[in-house]
Amino acid sequence: MAMTDVLSAEDIKKAVGAFSAADSFNYKKFFEMVGLKKKSPEDVKKVFHILDKDRSGFIEEEELKFVLKGFTPDGRDLSDKETKALLAAGDKDGDGKIGAD
């Protein structure tokens, strides 16, 4: 499954482009811009599974660094600061990874 099976290619391009500068990534704005906030829980889980490259059932810090590339191959890598902020926002139980739920 490709990201464009769930989200609009145009929305993805705009969102990734909006955060192309180093240390500009804002996960709340990004997820809103790509249309995830309007998607069903099932569609959000589909996106999660696309981003879970190692199929572990979790998105770990190393996978988060490349989250923009998960949406489009020409996305940039997140900085360590951006990666840690995204992990902190999604890691509700403090185990260092983000689960689908």
Q: Looking at the domain assignment, is residue 79 inside a domain?
A: yes
To the question of whether residue 56 is assigned a binding role by annotation, the answer is yes
Predicted local confidence at residue 101, as pLDDT? 80
To the question of whether residue 11 is assigned a binding role by annotation, the answer is no
Domain count, the chain: 1
Query: What pTM, to 2 d.p., does this model score?
Result: 0.92
Residue-number span of the structural domain to which 67 is assigned: 3-91
Question: Which of 8, 1, 21 shows the shortest CA–CA distance to 78?
Answer: 21
Report how far residue 48's alpha carbon sits from residue 39's, in angstroms, rounded to the nearest whole number.
12
To the question of whether residue 54 is assigned a binding role by annotation, the answer is yes
Q: Looking at the domain assignment, is residue 101 inside a domain?
A: no
Side chain identity at residue 53, one-letter code: K
Q: Looking at the domain assignment, is residue 72 inside a domain?
A: yes
To the question of whether residue 28 is assigned a binding role by annotation, the answer is no
Q: Could you read off the pLDDT of 55-65 as tens digits, one per residue?
A: 999 999 999 99
Residue 77: CATH number of its domain: 1.10.238.10
To the question of whether residue 97 is assigned a binding role by annotation, the answer is yes
Q: Looking at the domain assignment, is residue 57 inside a domain?
A: yes
- Segments of the chain with pLDDT less than 70: none
